[in-house]
Structure 1
């Protein structure tokens, strides 16, 4: 399995050529453990990177030429339109859910969420006021903010990074995008000074199938359809309210 990857794209066509079929699909890995270990994590990172860049391109938000290569801290380093940039990829999840998914996978048997100790054992009980949002939406928002806090203070090789989070875990499976999206954007707005305090985080991107939330300043999130391959026509960009 290859552990190196680079992109040198002048336009949409060369971006497609640079990826080929890399990162297109992960279903050929029999287990999530094998998927995460493939190429020392590279295959899963390319799965996320592909969706991020193709989605930006479809929305006319990707500045060419794009040059990126595999690195560490951040995961990919390079330039867009001549400006130095890094891309850091991480999960928005909880350790309890990750442990449960591993145990369930080893059992080989289907099970209800929470059966093996993850969140929502015995079902989702939520006594909070409706205006606080559904429990799964709040939990996924907490997953996102925890990942942002963990990653924003790292010493990156590049002056700025795009922090790309992909939702994974019980909360992701149960959360409703329509109610999760404004909730997580409110939290990012509230903590905007802390998120961007170091000047290193250029934007936060949150992938929750089938959508991507792009946040770079308070009150200005952008919601887009996620793309694994480029659509025939440019996507319409819509802002959340």
Structure 2
């Protein structure tokens, strides 16, 4: 597309209006639900995820460290429960009703229609489970499918291979690396950027729903098809 000066320009975005801020209290799934963090309700479960029992190596690429003092963690939960950006959710296992981890919708721009998923902190029990995948599906469905955001982002330390693999598996597209983007924990961070845009979401959604279907799993819980082949 070109303007009247014969310069290439971006396609017109017809009918665009500012999107709503995410405010929903509960995002319901088949295996789990996401629930806005409430300190009184989630402290005990999440202290197992964030507290001294957590493996230290789980925190290498996160912007915070595990909590050694329950009072400090209580204060942290109070702070995040009041935050609107990031908007923090606990990930609740429907079978046990226990909170197994957290994620947040953040860097929210209703005017531009961009939003990021971050603060993805999972217990070891949550990693590589259907719940972990469904939690990401629920957050993306809310942001892109329900609220109509046009760009959904995932960012991580470029050296964090598990996070990069997770992003690609979930359908995010790698966009590149911002060199020397941050200093955290006294270290340099080159940040890897990934995104899903609204035109890609229908196919990503189809694949995620196909993988999450109970028919895709054997009686002992093993997947029949990977997300790559759904």
**Structure 2 length-normalised TM:** 0.29
**Larger fraction in helix:** 1
**Using CA pairs below 8 Å that are at least 6 residues apart, which structure has the higher relative contact order?**
1
**Larger fraction in strand:** 2
